Structure 1
Amino acid sequence: MNIYLTIAGFLSAIAAVMHLGCIYFGAPWYRFFGAGEQMARLAEQGSPKPTWITCGVALVLSVWALYAFSGAGIIQKLPFTRLVLIAICLVYTTRGIAGFFFILSPMGRSVEFWIWSSTICLVIGLLHCIGLKLQWVSLSL
């Protein structure tokens, strides 16, 4: 079992559940987690847009968690595990690094949102990268 991919998978799964929490608890959660005032208002107005967007994010994070667990050896090997984990590493680390550039121009979100979310994405991305490096030989394309 690869501890780095295991932790990364659990963190992605937690993030997915937190996104589902935003759907269930509505505008206050969208605001608290920094989704932006527009998303919070749309949720308050009963618009389906925040639900669909957030469901999509939760689905992607859930799939990423499954691939991390697959790479860690917790569940059976999924197709293209190595390639998918490479992509996950790239997305998380790129998002983590890029987010710090939005601190000066936060685009409707708070500076705290960009700092926290970018740090979290960078940590999860690095966990994926370390775990992938350790599992590289045992993972098939």
Structure 2
Amino acid sequence: MPQFVTRYLQLAGLAAAVGAALHIAIFFGGPEWYAFFGAPAGLVEMARSGNVRAPISCLVIASFLALLAAYAFSGAGIIRRLPFLRLGLGSIAAVLILRGALFIPLIVWRPVALSGVCDCRSVDAFIIATSALCIAMGVGYALGAVAAPDISPKPLHGPA
């Protein structure tokens, strides 16, 4: 794998790991942290009232981001090769690039479509930054998917 792709995957993995840690910190930071980082108003209220959905949401997102980090680190050769590495990197790339590319147009034209995901009614610096970050990370995962060695299972029998 080219050195540039390896470094890019390392940075994408680091960004995902920081995101996972941040979501765990939000859980401990309380309702003000949920609100500051753009959680939907309903989720902030759940955090205020002690509803378990709020911390579960943070832990699910943190787990997802940790999985993204693991795939980036695996593609970069930092940790052992994970199953379906090329497929995983490609799928993650597609999700991140779509999230980055579609979030801003959805907020502009159909903000209600995202009301369950964020408390975003208009495009602001946070939305622009997170969208750009998702696209940048997605490009790294895409490069990793293309550059990842294709390791096919060995046949059980010799040539027939």
TM-score (normalised: structure 2): 0.79
Contact 1:5 1:132 in 2 (8 A): no
Give deviations 1:68-98, integer Å, cap 9, x for gaps: 1000011111111111111100111111111
- Following superposition, the deviation at residue 139 of structure 1 comes to 4.4
Contact 1:93 1:122 in 2 (8 A): yes
* 2:100 and 2:133 in contact (8 A); partners too: yes
**Structure 1: which 5+ residue stretches go unaligned?**
none
Q: 2:87 aligns with which of 80, 83, 86?
A: 83
Amino acid at match of 1:75: I
Q: Which residue of 2 aligns with 1:127?
A: 140
Larger radius of gyration: 2
Report the counterpart of residue 140 of structure 1 in structure 2.
151
Q: Distance in 2 between matches of 1:14 and 1:93?
A: 19
Match of 2:56 in 1: 52
What corresponds to 1:32 in structure 2? Answer: 36
Letter in structure 1 aligned against 2:135: L
Q: Tell me what 1:61 maps to.
A: 65
Question: Using the alignment, how far apart are the partners of 1:116 and 1:15 within structure 2?
Answer: 13
**Greater Cα shift, 70-79 or 97-106:** 97-106
Shift of residue 121, structure 1, vs aligned partner: 1.1
User: Cα deviation per residue 1:82-122 (whole Å; 9 max; x = unaligned)?
Assistant: 11111100111111111111332433424324323212211
**Cα deviations across residues 40-83 of structure 1 (Å, max 9, x unaligned)?**
11101101111111111110110110111000011111111111
Q: Which of 6, 9, 14 pairs up with 2:10?
A: 6
Identity fraction in percent: 34
Distance 1:37 1:115 in 2: 20
TM-score normalized with structure 1 length: 0.89
Root-mean-square deviation (CA, aligned residues, Å) is: 1.6
Q: Displaced runs of 4+ in structure 1, greater than 6 A?
A: none
**Structure that is richer in helix per residue:** 1
Structure 1 distance, partners of 2:51, 2:133, is 29
Amino acid at match of 1:84: G
Structure 2 runs not aligned, ≥5 long: 153-160
**Equivalent position amino acid for 1:91 in 2:** V
Instruction: Say how many residue pairs are matched.
Output: 139
